[in-house]
A and B are shown apart, each in its own frame.
Chain A
């Protein structure tokens, strides 16, 4: 446990110097709540809760964890960790825990809305989707950062991926608005599949087909494990 908490302690130090990141998140949460309420009323607000959970958990892996590991590789801090009793699990789980600060902060910002809407069912439904999304995003982020030659350039890759998979597909809007034939295609995107799971369990979807997005996420988990296992090396290269 000391190894995981040590990694989490070291990798969460940014918060001391960059608390504005958390403030930025507050404005994003508040801004989207207003936007969705103006266009979609109470239903818009209920949907934005799901979108926050999905975008927060996806961004945590692909963006935050991947970028941080990239910097560790570049700055040789990772070599210090490898040449120590720290195992890959301690390292990754430590990073994972320290990155939960963002999800935790987002959840705190959402709380007034959750109470106002009495939307606990939506929160629980979102958490069901958050678990596989977190796993997939961390594996995808890991597979990317271990593959690229200059890890500090990773944000040039992960930021567009983050935006493309959050803004474009049905995360902030329901997949049910897409024609059924195309819907199967769009739901191959993990963020869209996660959002659809949360909507269906949370009672916000007009479509009843839970097995398909679950199957998609299961396939993504398998692909994530395979692709990251091929590139992740903990020394002995």
Chain B
């Protein structure tokens, strides 16, 4: 097991709980996604797992080492790409990866080989000698991702690595992460983007209000709700029953089968009606809503 988080909780000195009870396991060769909205406790959880923060309660094991008692052993086995990382404006992509690999104890030959490989993977090879101040925001972010992926650490943490990236940049990062996972690394990634979690994650940990409310593969999580389809109604004049989610001029109704959706839609009067399969987002809303309402 790459990472085992055991009921992690963190209260900051101002008395606010950053995380209340986060509990999950992340296997080797898999991408585990910590999924939740802003302020859910994802970054605090990563902080505790990477020894930046000391848990108020609970413990975690990274490659079998306790984050409380074996801090230096943990640090030898991890690499972190923090949220909102700003690499030094004087660093070129080559400088950044070379310096970071020197820190990680790589030989000159390894630095040359790994540096070239990962800068190419992250689409930075052509701009390797340009100071980061001359690069786009997305390229600067990819420098940090290249640094941690090239590190050789068996457990890699990436806190919202694709936020602010364009579609192309996001796919470049996704592809690199999938390749790293296939080489046996444990990858922990945070995001609030349900689509990203669904596409990239082998295993998903849903976090809400500092609590890991559900864990499982995307398929397992989708199966947690009793609905298979949803009807999205725009400009509804008449609905056969109350909506499940009210977005003003748009209403969402969940149903247990496609047939039920079609039958229900026939009795509606609206500007437009569409029937869609439920997604991870619906699961999240269902589970979080349930927990928030004390139903789960």
Contact = CB atoms under 8 A, between A and B. Distances in A.
Interface of A: 2-3, 5-7, 9-10, 13-14, 16-18, 71, 74-77, 79-87, 90, 235-237
Interface residues of B, number: 43
Given A6-B99, A75-B85, A84 B91 contact: no
Interface stretch (B49-57, B200-208, B213-221, B227-235): B49-57
A14 B133 CA distance: 12
Given A5-B102, A237-B52, A85 B76 contact: yes
A181 B85 CA distance: 53
Contacts of B144: 80
Contacts of B151: 84
B102 to A, nearest CB: 3
B87 A77 contact: yes
16 contacts: A2-B106, A7-B99, A9-B98, A13-B99, A16-B131, A17-B90, A77-B86, A79-B80, A80-B147, A83-B51, A83-B52, A84-B79, A87-B72, A235-B71, A236-B51, A236-B54
B102 A6 contact: yes
B90 A9 contact: no
Given A3-B102, A13-B99, A82-B75, 8 more contacts: A5-B102, A76-B85, A77-B85, A79-B82, A81-B103, A84-B104, A85-B103, A235-B51
Contacts of A235: 50-53, 71
A10 B86 contact: no
Interface in B86-109: 86-92, 95-96, 98-106
A76 B82 CA distance: 7
Contacts of B83: 76
A90 B79 CA distance: 17
Given A74-B86, A75-B88, A235-B51, A80 B102 contact: no
B256 interface: no
B122 interface: no
B105 A80 contact: no
Contact of B90 (A2, A18, A82): A18
B181 interface: no
A13 B78 contact: no
A90 B103 CA distance: 9
A71 B263 CA distance: 61
A79 B52 contact: yes
B179 interface: no
Contacts of B157: 83
A236 B103 contact: no
Report which residue of A5, A77, A85 has the largest number of chain B beta carbons within 10 angstroms of its beta carbon: A85
B71 to A, nearest CB: 6
Contacts of B87: 75, 77
- Please provide the 5 A-B residue pairs with the shortest distance between their CB atoms, ordered closest to farther: A6-B102, A6-B103, A10-B99, A75-B86, A83-B80
B221 to A, nearest CB: 28
A236 B99 CA distance: 25
B81 interface: yes
Contacts of B90: 13-14, 16-18
B276 interface: no
Report which residue of B85, B88, B98 has the largest number of chain A beta carbons within 10 angstroms of its beta carbon: B88
B113 interface: no
Interface in B112-155: 131, 133, 144, 147-148, 151, 153
Contacts of B84: 76
Given A76-B86, A80-B147, A84-B75, A9 B51 contact: no
A10 B95 contact: yes
A83 B105 contact: no
Contacts of B95: 9-10, 13
Interface string B17-59: 0000000000000000000000000000000001111100000
B99 A84 contact: no
Nearest to A68: B88
Nearest to A9: B99
Given A18-B90, A77-B85, A77-B87, A10 B100 contact: yes
B105 A2 contact: yes
B85 A80 contact: yes
Report which residue of A6, A9, A84, A236 has the largest number of chain B beta carbons within 10 angstroms of its beta carbon: A84
B163 to A, nearest CB: 13
Contacts of B51: 82-83, 235-236
